[in-house]
Amino acid sequence: MVSAIIQLRRGVLLTALAFVVSCSVTYSSQDSVEVTGEGTVDEKLNLAREIAAQVWNSGLTIRVHEHFPELTDRQLQGLGIRWNVTTFKPLTGENRHAQTSVVIQCIFSHNGEVKRATEIVQACKSEVQSAIDSRRRLTRRSTCRSPSPPAGERPFC
């Protein structure tokens, strides 16, 4: 009888231990880059979608892994990019003062190493910002029709 009780307690203890070990908390670190400039909200949203796809499909996880080689494939699955539209309205609820913002967000889900997660998100954000800046330079070049400026000056576009 005593051995049966000991085995039962041992079984309950092992079950409880397995439950505690299997439970984990997942955190999410994120940062965003606003898509600014000319254009409608829909145009900015399309640009955000294109840039997010460009950065992701150009091997973002490979570059992040090269910079953070200690990350496992499973941890790299926590990296993501999304785009979002948010309309900020004043507390009065008046729509004429509303501001709409389009952002590209870099997200990294992790198990609590906040400093490392923040560094990973910042690496992603840097790539997104570079892609946005590159797109702006290309757009400016294609739309600038002013005459060549004097030596040492930038074109006015």
**What's 80's domain CATH number?**
3.30.300.100
State the total domains in the chain: 1
Stated as kind and residue range, the H or E segment containing 34 is strand 27-34
Regions of the chain with pLDDT less than 70: 1-24, 93, 95, 139-157
HSE value, Cβ hemisphere, 13 Å, CA-based, for 26: 11
What gap in Å lies between CA 42 and CA 72, rounded to an integer? 37
Answer whether residue 90 is part of any domain: yes
Domain span at 63: 25-138
What gap in Å lies between CA 157 and CA 137, rounded to an integer? 11
Condensed to tens digits (0 to 9), the pLDDT of residues 9-48 reads 555 444 444 444 455 677 889 999 999 988 899 999 999 9
- Provide the pLDDT for residue 26: 78
Answer whether residue 153 is part of any domain: no
- Provide the pLDDT for residue 156: 41
Answer whether residue 7 is part of any domain: no
Give the CA distances from residue 39 to residues 43, 94, 118, in Å, rounded to whole numbers and listed in that order. 6, 23, 31
- Provide the pLDDT for residue 10: 54
Which ranges constitute the DSSP H helices of the chain? Answer: 2-22, 41-57, 60-67, 73-76, 114-143
